[in-house]
Structure 1
């Protein structure tokens, strides 16, 4: 079932690049990111409220708050740089390079989460890295 959500995520991420490129014409990329963030904030809290998850906020630990905060900071930085890259480059180049995050996440998962890499995962990561290098140069 996870792969259905992953495919939906990838599909919506692809739409982000297309909609953002068109929507940012003549707009500062930082302002565009801020506007987008407000929209995301409304959608995310509406979803949590609709699913009845708001009361769970009281059960979050310090570690939950710390790492969710760090994740939020990383997300914000990623979006700011992604929108700037989209403003300066072509979607067909920026979006695939942005997906280098998949290979980086695999490497970081081994270092910090002690996840085990299979040959299939290693080959996939190497193909992503190779494809990114081809697109950049």
Structure 2
């Protein structure tokens, strides 16, 4: 079941790139990121209240809060850089390079979470990195 959500995530990420490229034309990318963030904030909280998940706030630990805040900061910086990259480059260049995050996540998950580096994940990460370098250095 996880892979259905992962594929939907990929689809929505692709749509994000296309919609953003059109939406940021002639717009300051930080302003665009701010607008996008407000929309996401509204949608996320609507989902929380729809599902009744707001009752779980009190059970969050200090560690939960610290790492959710750090994750939010990382997401914000990622979006700021992504929008600027989209404004300066082509979607067909920026989106694949942005996906280098997959290979980086595989390595960081092995280092910090103890997730196994299987031959399959090593090959996949290597191919993603190779593709990224092709996108950057070969025109």
Long gaps (5+) in structure 2: none
Long gaps (5+) in structure 1: none
For the residues of structure 1 that align with 2:28 and 2:87, how far apart are their CA atoms? 9
* 1:90 aligned residue: 90
Task: Please provide the CA RMSD for this pair.
Answer: 0.4
Structure 1 residue 103 displacement after superposition: 0.2
* 2:8 aligned residue: 8
* 1:79 aligned residue: 79
Structure 1 residue 60 displacement after superposition: 0.2
* 2:124 aligned residue: 124
* 1:18 aligned residue: 18
* 1:68 aligned residue: 68
How many pairs does the alignment contain?
137
Tell me the TM-score normalised to structure 1 length. Answer: 0.99
For the residues of structure 2 that align with 1:59 and 1:43, how far apart are their CA atoms? 22
Tell me the TM-score normalised to structure 2 length. Answer: 0.98
For the residues of structure 2 that align with 1:125 and 1:51, how far apart are their CA atoms? 36
